[in-house]
Structure 1
Amino acid sequence: MIKFSVVIPTYNNKVLLNNTLEALNDQLDFESNTYEVIVVDDGSSDDTLQYIQETPRTYIFHYIYLERTPDSCRARVRNTGWKRAQGQFVVFLDADMIVKRNYLRELQLYFEVNKELLVISYRFMLKEPIALEDVRSGQIFEKNYRTLDYFEARHFDSLVHSFNIATLKHPWHCVFSCNMALPRAVLEQLDGFDENYKGWGMEDTDIGYRCYLLGMRIVSHLGIEALHQYHGEAFGDVKNQEKMIEWDQNIARMYRKFPSLHKELPRWRINLAYFTRRVPQILMRPARYMKTYHFTVKSEEELPLLKEKIEELSSRPGNLVIVWDELESAAFHLWIQLLGYTRSEVRYYPKSFLFERKEIKQFLGNVFTWKKLLVLSFRCIRLLSSRLTRRFSRRLTLQSARK
């Protein structure tokens, strides 16, 4: 029986994809017939299939080629993949992700506790290309990546609002399909990704929001963090103008699709948050606590009593509970998140993510230079101009139609 189906969309990315496929070989505690990998090629012209066929596989493998059409989009590629899937759970990985050999075993630990989860995780941003042999030997994982140099944006967000996604007002905003998993039955219920999203961004936020509306628990799993292979993109880079316009158009599409979002999370707040780098603050609940409680987890023996205290304090309003986990237990991290949106906020931090505020501030100051901020400001002005032009054009079209 196939337990997990891993869906990987790709487009002219054969070298990075080959590393991703190699990393999925020999997953611990999984026989070769218990998981499958489905590569969906969105019309590549670089002989992807011929290139990746040279690397042996220890799992069931499928390759699907889609011709490029005006309807081509990331949502269509992912939908094609999961509809072919036979597994109980579907994992979505981007073609530049590298996972550890225990990736599926860690995922299974979560789904054994609760099958109705949308599990997300993070990426470590590599600084240079890597060789296939380094992936095959496992040498690539011998380095400690839990340092500021390798963090992605969501790592820095979580250093502010914590790694307890469930305590956020808008947990769906953290959903990225580059590294996530959920039951196949839920994808069927939702009819998958919305293929009306064209270009870059928001199709994964959309499905995260619809899962949230279904009442699914959105949780993060630090045990399945992936390595993002370097291909010219680094944390802090300003998106090109085309991507910014596509992203802005897709945000507008999502707000037209879900009118209640205008009240739940006004669109202007999203734009302002990204421009001022205050995304965590728009996701957090209002600070209405009167007393703060700090707990440090040092042994398994103290967990039962500690859980009782956390449940008691979080069930009453007016408290802020901050948990520092020296064990870095995936089971305890999940337990915290399954408490849900408690009356008092519970923030969770693993010990390996303990950094001095001054150190973080200095690092971000070096990343977001004045030059980058000026480029971002200029592109935001052009984005606003583009938005006004589209709005004016639509009005002219409507007026012409009425005549």
Structure 2
Amino acid sequence: MSDALRCTVVIPTYNRSELLRHSLDSLTRQRMPANQFEVIVVDDGSTDDTADVATSFQDRLDLRYHYQPDEGFRAAAARNIGIADARSPICVFTDSGIMLHADNLNQHVASHQSTTGPTAVVAYIYGFSSDDTNIDVVRERLDVDDLDGSIARMQAKRECRDIRELFYDRYGEDLTRIPAPWQIFWTGNVSAQTTQLRAVGGFDEQFRTWGGEDLDLGYRLHLNGATFIFNRQAKAVHIPHEKAFDQSMRAATRNYHYMAEKYGSPVMRILAELPPRRFLDFNELAAAAI
């Protein structure tokens, strides 16, 4: 079967079994035939019924479940387990609580096939926002039993837009024209080539709090020659769930300082010192620093 695999979906999770159920359910509805992709769920030490939920999909998906003991936040290590276990040429990263449009995996693979050399794909997540009003609209609009219809309605009404829409409004959608496309390589819905992920060392497991481990990986993919592509049609929806946004951003800022020390580059020092609410200015400042 592995010879036919086109991509591997890697999902780290922790005590979010119901959100995971929705994510896996969306994978059962992919237009890509089920024997052409695999799913790797890596459990970061859950104490709920995550294992039962994951394995309950093994009759519908080519799914493998891994468990690592709860030793704190280890999403980077969890994703690295997925990269190491992947049997396909492309890893698609998503999270429990993200539901993928039926054409999502086809779109990721198409972007890789249309680009020469190593590629990193940034895709679109409806409802991914820090705006509570936007989150309330997602709750009203999202029908988990009609995901594609829900996305079509959000798209038609220009509602529940990805927070990075502000980025695309300013810089456009051709990520090859900006100096730091890795700034928006957020692992809710991205992909990269498995061989390159392994070549650059995967995720840095020194990240033990939320935020930055995906940018760190994106930066190394960029330095290693990856072409960054934005694919608006590789759509997904972020199911509203509780997250302390300000607390998360403080953790991310600490991680950005770690990255500045790790690389010692002017662009990373800018990232560490830039207030989170000014993320739109980063590429302009990066262009001046490079």
Sort the TM-score into its range (normalised by shorter chain): 0.7 to 0.9
Shift of 1:240: 3.2
Tell me if structure 1 keeps the 8 A contact 2:26–2:102: yes
Give 1:22's aligned amino acid: D
Tell me if structure 2 keeps the 8 A contact 1:9–1:39: yes
Q: Measure, in 2, the Cα distance between the counterparts of 1:181 and 1:65.
A: 23
Give the corresponding residue for 1:173: 183
Q: Residues 66 and 180 of structure 1: is their aligned pair in 2 closer, same or farther, counting only changes over 3 Å?
A: same
Give the corresponding residue for 1:140: 150
Q: Measure, in 2, the Cα distance between the counterparts of 1:192 and 1:287.
A: 26
Q: Residues 56 and 209 of structure 1: is their aligned pair in 2 closer, same or farther, counting only changes over 3 Å?
A: closer
Q: Residues 287 and 179 of structure 1: is their aligned pair in 2 closer, same or farther, counting only changes over 3 Å?
A: closer
Give the corresponding residue for 1:128: 139
Give the corresponding residue for 1:74: 75
Q: Measure, in 1, the Cα distance between the counterparts of 2:229 and 2:67.
A: 32
Secondary structure of the equivalent of 2:96?
coil
Tell me if structure 1 keeps the 8 A contact 2:38–2:63: yes
Give the corresponding residue for 1:97: 98
Shift of 1:147: 5.0
Q: Measure, in 2, the Cα distance between the counterparts of 1:91 and 1:196.
A: 22
Give the corresponding residue for 1:283: 283
Give the corresponding residue for 1:45: 47
Q: Residues 152 and 140 of structure 1: is their aligned pair in 2 closer, same or farther, counting only changes over 3 Å?
A: closer
Tell me if structure 2 keeps the 8 A contact 1:76–1:195: yes
Tell me if structure 2 keeps the 8 A contact 1:161–1:280: no
Q: Residues 286 and 202 of structure 1: is their aligned pair in 2 closer, same or farther, counting only changes over 3 Å?
A: closer
Give the corresponding residue for 1:158: 168
Structure 1 residue 84 corresponds to structure 2 residue 85: yes
Matches within 5 A, 1:278-357: 279-284=279-284
Shift of 1:48: 1.3
Q: Please list the CA deviations of residues 36-75 of structure 1 after superposition, one character each: whole Å capped at 9, or x if unmatched.
A: 01111111111112234455753311111111125x4110
Q: Please list the CA deviations of residues 162-204 of structure 1 after superposition, one character each: whole Å capped at 9, or x if unmatched.
A: 1121111211111111111111100110121000111011111
Give the corresponding residue for 2:246: 240
Tell me if structure 1 keeps the 8 A contact 2:94–2:188: yes
Q: Measure, in 2, the Cα distance between the counterparts of 1:145 and 1:14.
A: 28
Q: Residues 74 and 54 of structure 1: is their aligned pair in 2 closer, same or farther, counting only changes over 3 Å?
A: closer
Give the corresponding residue for 1:18: 21
Structure 1 residue 63 corresponds to structure 2 residue 65: yes
Structure 1 residue 3 corresponds to structure 2 residue 15: no
Tell me if structure 2 keeps the 8 A contact 1:99–1:227: yes
TM-score, with structure 2 as normaliser: 0.85
Equivalent position to 1:116, from 94, 115, 118: 118
Give the corresponding residue for 1:190: 200
Q: Measure, in 2, the Cα distance between the counterparts of 1:287 and 1:192.
A: 26
Q: Percent identity?
A: 26
Q: Which runs of 4+ in 1 moved over 6 A?
A: 285-288
Tell me if structure 2 keeps the 8 A contact 1:120–1:181: yes
Q: Residues 169 and 43 of structure 1: is their aligned pair in 2 closer, same or farther, counting only changes over 3 Å?
A: same
Q: Please list the CA deviations of residues 245-301 of structure 1 after superposition, one character each: whole Å capped at 9, or x if unmatched.
A: 3212211110111012xx23543x6644534x3x2233138999xxxxxxxxxxxxx
Secondary structure of the equivalent of 1:63?
strand
Q: Which has the higher contact order (CA 8 A, sep 6+)?
A: 2
TM-score, with structure 1 as normaliser: 0.62
Equivalent position to 2:221, from 207, 211, 214: 211
Shift of 1:156: 1.3
Give 1:116's aligned amino acid: P
Give 1:3's aligned amino acid: R
Q: Measure, in 2, the Cα distance between the counterparts of 1:286 and 1:26.
A: 40
User: What runs of 5+ residues in structure 2 fail to find an aligned partner?
Assistant: 128-134
Give the corresponding residue for 2:132: none
Cα RMSD (Å):
2.5
Shift of 1:150: 0.7
Q: Measure, in 2, the Cα distance between the counterparts of 1:67 and 1:146.
A: 44
Shift of 1:131: 5.8
> Larger C-alpha radius of gyration, 1 or 2?
1
Number of aligned pairs? 274
Q: Residues 54 and 134 of structure 1: is their aligned pair in 2 closer, same or farther, counting only changes over 3 Å?
A: farther
Give 1:192's aligned amino acid: G
Q: Residues 146 and 41 of structure 1: is their aligned pair in 2 closer, same or farther, counting only changes over 3 Å?
A: farther
Secondary structure of the equivalent of 1:225?
strand
